[in-house]
Structure 1
């Protein structure tokens, strides 16, 4: 009981605390007109460039290399500062086998909230500015990417961005990172859920007008660059009788993927093009079937209206009251015009595979010419 009594005695000996004065209300000054373009509070300065931190690049590369599934995606964190989107951190999102399952979606949402809360507790960047996704052979047009990016552009400041990383180019020694966002014309059609032929013509939409590319820069910390240079620098081997290949060693050995003459990339590219062309033909067949159904139902409705008109003319000649006009849409179930969004996305995939094939073939021809 000595310790509590001592504490009580010390507390009693201290002077009574005085009431703190109420804080004055803060006074905000208007931003001068000359500074309006520097301090972008209302996000009026359009996004001009995306700046990826070197650590973010390393994280995406590692996630793409270590992933066991074909789906590699995660969130990008950073700050939108006066036209420059600075991406300073990222974290991977778990992949669920059944992404359509509601339980998997809730689990992913809880994981995101937990990660953002943990980053906030350690005073790290926790502001979501977009997401990243690994792709193969340059093809990234799909429904999932469009839906996520449309949601981000509706909720995030300046709309956020999607960074796509081409794994196939990285395997050949050329890391590829590109930043995109949806165009305003596509977003307008997407919000109306109208991708009919008329809507595509009015919005001037093609597969090349779905996304717009934003210039991307990679910012590397000088300290990190120096550290990587020490890892790649070779040093003499400590072995007394080392072979010529092991005479000099380095922590990160040089990669010779750029000198690989195998044509596996060409074969895979051609297979993907054939598969996507088949998918496009199937989609166009489905659209044509639906259009024939619409034409049949419309023809039935038009015949019914023409017959009713003739009956009314005959009744008018007999001085009889005309039959009431009925709602054709209730009598005939005319299906809505099919969406052409999937066809556009498949065309975008074919175009991406074709460009990847062109780049792979040209580099392979140069290598073979050099070897010859």
Structure 2
């Protein structure tokens, strides 16, 4: 039998490693819902600013450019800490233009649950803090956006935020990102489902007081800043005939001449959208006027019937007869409910957005046209 090796002998003589006792896994009891709100200190700190990560900016721009329409939207993920809502990730939601509402909603819900479950498995941020919406020409007012934001502000802490990305501004080289949330007055009217004239007056609601803007800043990490710097840094473009020392400097990014565009096409489209919105608003106001006249006619009939019955009862009492019983006027006369003016507010918000965008683009276009006219030498002729 072969003699054991020196290493084996030494290993046999060494004392065995002490075995650590197995500790039982700690057990945590779930906090009751009544205590969870008291322990959540961050919920008492008001939200002051939204911080958008540079990666989220690139994701939103990419999704908006590749989307088949201007209705690109998705969810925002992050964390609110010490009054700052840090948005660190996002993912797009599918657009089902041809599907019916119920089928499309179920598909979006399944996609959302699948994405959040996958993010949780890889230990990424999976806390929904709001959503983003792509728009064009500055007009983002619509009922779908208001309803979605109302749901988020009811379920999410600090109400959630909607990020508006303007495609028309980004196409001109100005990345446009704005953060909004619904005002308390609009939320109160929305919960009551009351947007009548009296409700708007009591809540002091106009199209400009539906949303309130939250300050927004964009944060870029060092890696992204280094990448952007490498793209814009000039390099020596060498060729076979030209020595590297004499080569002309070149940039990784191709030159862009978008600033020389007079942008007359965008101005024309903006004017067309304003005219269409004004026509829609005029139609909506005509419908509201018709319904108001119909309500006034029915109320006049009901008041006339009540006055007639009152006179008859006075005559019968004077004659010593028993008065006629009072009847339910609401069953005899179908008085329509006062119409909602939410559509009018939304249309006014769209017109205001188009007008503000036209103000910016038209002023910039005038300066460019004046410069082009001066550079062409037409003033000297």
Which TM-score bucket, shorter chain as reference? 0.7 to 0.9
Q: Give the deviation of 1:313 after TM superposition.
A: 1.0
Q: Give the deviation of 1:249 after TM superposition.
A: 3.9
Cross-structure match for 1:290: 291
- The 5 A counterparts of 1:239-278 are 239-240=239-240, 248-278=249-279
Q: Deviations over 1:316-353 (max 9, x none)?
A: 11111101111111111111101011101101111111
- The TM-score, its normalising length taken from structure 1, stands at 0.88
Cross-structure match for 1:281: 282
The 3 A distance-change label for structure 1 pair 73 and 19 is closer
Q: Give the deviation of 1:153 after TM superposition.
A: 0.2
- The TM-score, its normalising length taken from structure 2, stands at 0.86
Cross-structure match for 1:349: 350
Cross-structure match for 2:94: 94
Q: Give the deviation of 1:23 after TM superposition.
A: 5.2
Distance 2:133 2:305 in 1: 53
1:156 aligns with 2:170: no
CA contact 1:261–1:367 (8 Å) conserved in 2: yes
Q: Give the deviation of 1:247 after TM superposition.
A: 5.2
- The 5 A counterparts of 1:303-314 are 303-314=304-315
Cross-structure match for 1:8: none
- The 5 A counterparts of 1:36-185 are 41-98=41-98, 100-185=100-185
Distance 1:128 1:240 in 2: 55
The 3 A distance-change label for structure 1 pair 182 and 320 is same
Report the RMSD for the aligned CA atoms in angstroms.
Answer: 2.3
The 3 A distance-change label for structure 1 pair 21 and 191 is closer
Cross-structure match for 2:369: 368
The 3 A distance-change label for structure 1 pair 22 and 368 is closer
Cross-structure match for 2:328: 327
Cross-structure match for 1:213: 213
Gaps of 5+ in 2: 1-18, 32-38, 375-381
Distance 1:53 1:25 in 2: 34
Gaps of 5+ in 1: 1-15, 29-38
- Secondary structure at 2:139's aligned position in 1? coil
User: May I ask how many residue pairs the two structures share in their alignment?
Assistant: 344
Q: Give the deviation of 1:17 after TM superposition.
A: 11
Distance 2:182 2:314 in 1: 54
Distance 1:328 1:241 in 2: 98
1:233 aligns with 2:229: no
Structure 1 stretch 147-156 or stretch 97-106: which is displaced more? 97-106
